[in-house]
Amino acid sequence: MTSGTDHQQQEVRAILSKARERRQRALNEFESKKLLAAYGIPVSRESFASSADEASGQAKAIGYPVALKACGADLTHKTELNGVSLNLRNAKEVRKEGERLLSLEGCEGLLVQEMVKGHRELVVGMTKDARFGPCIMFGLGGTLTEVLKDVVFRMAPLTPKDALEMIEEIRGKKILESFRGEPPVDMNRLIQILIALGKIGTGYEEVSQIDINPLKIRPDGQPVAVDALVVLSAQAGERAAQPERAEPIESESRRPKTGEDWKRLFEPRSVAVVGASSVPGKPGYDVIRNILANQYEGGLYLVNPKGGEILGLQAHRTIGDLPDGIDLGIIIVSADKSPQAVRECVAKGIRHFVMAAGGFAEYDQGGAEIQKELVNIIQEKDLHVLGPNTSGNVSTPHKFTSTFFPLGKIRRGNISYIAQTGNFATHTMKYILSGEHFGVARVIGLGNAIDTDECDALEYLENDPETKSILMYLEHVKRPKRFLESAQRVTLKKPVVMLKGGATEAGKKAAVAHTASMALEDHLVDGLLKQAGIARIPEYTQLVHVGKALAMSPLPKDNRVGFLAPSGAMLVVLSDLCTRLGLDVPVLQPESVQRLQEISPPFILMRNPVDIWASATTKGIEYAYREGMEILLKDPNIDAVVPILLLTKDTGIPSYDFIIELTKRYPEKPILLTFTGEAECIGECKSYLEPLGVPTFAEIEQPFHVLSVLNRCRKAMDRPLLK
């Protein structure tokens, strides 16, 4: 994607260099609009006048009534300075107001402007974030912009699809339809404007922020920039004026990881545990126990200054005693000893490491310095490191793990976790293994991510044949641009689901322009994830629920749910929930309704959702659910089925095999099971069905939350590839 035609670029360069010469920090409104107009963004009819007389002549040419504005590069808050006069109807008024405005401090001339009619005001803008780069904003504009906060962001450059999605995402999108006698907004034009802002943002380093507020909608539906502000980047010697994020972008310059690198980390032929311990419960002991429990088939070498035998293996006293050419080093000594340990390992030919200990930059200044030393070693020696402060990785197809939390044998599966937390190689994994009956392919604990970061991890899993779906937990996106690029590719092949921690507002940046002040990290992340096709989830537990569904079920073709419950109230509240979640509970085909009526006593009106109570209590639980579920599964209007199973000993426990049967017969439609009734029976049903591949959920709302996530994953995978 280019950032504009030659002609456009020439025009813009001319405006910018003139402003540079004058050491302007912003373009005045007239210049700002000229710049925007060069990129095809429609602006109000207007002209620049140096005197009140000149202004009155121009006003006549533009046509009364007009607006008159004080114009000057430093006049970025004209309204507050009383620098705007609206609705001037004749030469006398223009001259009088013109004189007044010219007397304002900083006023370099007058902007004579048509009065644009129309009831609707939008805001569009561009701001540059140190990590996210140029980001485009769209939302409801006018004086209420910052009260309503109804804005969305995307990273530039934008595709037409990105722009359209932004437009459709605002809460107040109804304003874009016919409105108070005015026709719908010209959407193509809006899209062009957003794309053009993206081009300006990516094309000109000198432009740091753009605000168009209001972007007014004329009574014919055409958008027009009525006020505009282009803020310039600080020039040499002015850097302090630029708001920038503090974090360095450490990862950008590193060597990309190769397949060979990943093999050493996830399929090592041999492993050294540096900091092996003979004390049960210590990380340096439990890591060995885990490796053994998973029946790791490669060579396993231990280093412990005391030597001796640990779990049946002889420990070496020094790293120097290790054989040469070990694939992977697990460094489990304390932070201060880590750099030396790594150096010694490097001397023995180890270039890949899992660094478990904490106490680095996440802790204090001393730790930060050790971490810096590690970064230097990594760069100098071209190492590949996971961590530090990571609980390690898991790679079940290779029967390997480096976690130090006592997990025992880790169940193999087809989903993988990338997490900026150790939990998925520690206690949350323990919960999954002991309570949720699904397994994993890889777990990548990023820890402090001084080398391997979320982009690397995602790119590894992109081509990992063992990984069918990816779940992520992140608190920071270190390299948003690279991440977007990779994720857009990955989400076409595999579902990617993310929980973003630290989503609450961290306080606004002080900034000249609206766009920048509203570009909070979480807004940017939200835009990034949507743009990338990643399904964002709000709660931690969904990393487990959605993981289970992805591990066991197909993705639904679309958002149309059929469900059965032994309770009218459940039908009502779950229908409410579906509406909130964007799931459709469609009308069934007439044959299905008729067939449902046949399996029920006549005094219940059958439809979707299905009130299965009467059928279940008169014709038997198994018959009612089997027939009811199959009717829904068969119906072409239904993409997924949720049975709320009534299980009590007194009302009868079915043989659950019919559910296995149905999953086999309708392999393309997810069946997510949930329950009501007796806790013991529910537990038994779960324990029977889940190992056979049917996901169950303890609470009746959960399958619906999960389906809405699965549906977003499917939509991302189905999205057209066109730019």
541 makes contact with a copy of itself (CB under 8 A)? yes
Window contacting a copy of itself (CB under 8 A); options: 32-40, 247-255, 376-384, 597-605: 597-605
What beta strand segments (E) does 218-341 contain? Answer: 223-225, 228-232, 270-274, 299-303, 309-310, 313-316, 328-331
Smallest distance from a copy of itself to CB 647, Å:
9
What single DSSP character describes residue 501? S
Please report, as residue ranges, which positions from 91 to 150 form the binding site for a copy of itself (by CB under 8 A): 93, 119, 140, 143-144, 146-148
Q: Which position among 160, 219, 397, 406 is part of the footprint of a copy of itself (CB under 8 A)?
A: 406
Smallest distance from a copy of itself to CB 306, Å:
20
Q: Which position among 379, 575, 597, 637 is part of the footprint of a copy of itself (CB under 8 A)?
A: 575
Question: Cβ–Cβ contacts within 10 Å for residue 657, how many?
Answer: 13
Smallest distance from a copy of itself to CB 243, Å:
22
Smallest distance from a copy of itself to CB 198, Å:
26
Indicate the residue among 198 and 358 with the shorter CB distance to a copy of itself. 358
421 makes contact with a copy of itself (CB under 8 A)? yes
Indicate the residue among 65 and 133 with the shorter CB distance to a copy of itself. 65
Handedness of CA 613, 616, 617, 622 (dihedral sign): negative
ω into residue 157 within 30 of 0, thus cis? Answer: yes
175 makes contact with a copy of itself (CB under 8 A)? yes
Please report, as residue ranges, which positions from 443 to 462 form the binding site for a copy of itself (by CB under 8 A): none
Q: Which position among 297, 475, 598, 657 is part of the footprint of a copy of itself (CB under 8 A)?
A: 475
168 makes contact with a copy of itself (CB under 8 A)? no
- Nearest Cα to 484, choosing from 21, 131, 141? 131
Q: Which position among 220, 238, 380, 699 is part of the footprint of a copy of itself (CB under 8 A)?
A: 699
Task: Give residue 221's region: left, alpha or beta (phi > 0; psi -120 to 50).
Answer: left
Please report, as residue ranges, which positions from 543 to 572 form the binding site for a copy of itself (by CB under 8 A): 566-570, 572
Indicate the residue among 238 and 699 with the shorter CB distance to a copy of itself. 699
263 makes contact with a copy of itself (CB under 8 A)? no
Smallest distance from a copy of itself to CB 540, Å:
5
Q: Which position among 354, 374, 700, 710 is part of the footprint of a copy of itself (CB under 8 A)?
A: 700
692 makes contact with a copy of itself (CB under 8 A)? no
Burial class (CB within 10 angstroms; exposed 0-12, middle 13-18, buried 19+) of 510: exposed
Indicate the residue among 266 and 697 with the shorter CB distance to a copy of itself. 697
Distances (CA, A) of 107 to 47, 70, 211, 514, 629: 15, 6, 20, 22, 74
Structure tokens belonging to residue 149: 């906060």
Question: Cβ–Cβ contacts within 10 Å for residue 509, how many?
Answer: 16
Q: Using DSSP, state whether 312 is helix, strand or coil.
A: coil
Indicate the residue among 413 and 422 with the shorter CB distance to a copy of itself. 422
Dist. CA 158–CA 134, nearest whole Å: 10
Smallest distance from a copy of itself to CB 82, Å:
10
Please report, as residue ranges, which positions from 671 to 690 form the binding site for a copy of itself (by CB under 8 A): 675-680, 682
6 makes contact with a copy of itself (CB under 8 A)? no
Site string for a copy of itself, 8-37 (x = CB under 8 A): ------------------------------
Residue type at 67? Answer: A
Contacts with 606 (C-beta within 8 Å, 6 or more apart), sequence order: 593, 596, 597, 599, 600
Smallest distance from a copy of itself to CB 674, Å:
10
Dist. CA 165–CA 428, nearest whole Å: 35
Q: Which position among 502, 582, 667, 691 is part of the footprint of a copy of itself (CB under 8 A)?
A: 502
Indicate the residue among 40 and 359 with the shorter CB distance to a copy of itself. 359
Indicate the residue among 109 and 367 with the shorter CB distance to a copy of itself. 367
ω into residue 65 within 30 of 0, thus cis? Answer: yes
CA angle 305, 309, 314 (to 5 degrees): 80
Smallest distance from a copy of itself to CB 2, Å:
37
CA angle 581, 523, 713 (to 5 degrees): 40
Dist. CA 334–CA 315, nearest whole Å: 18
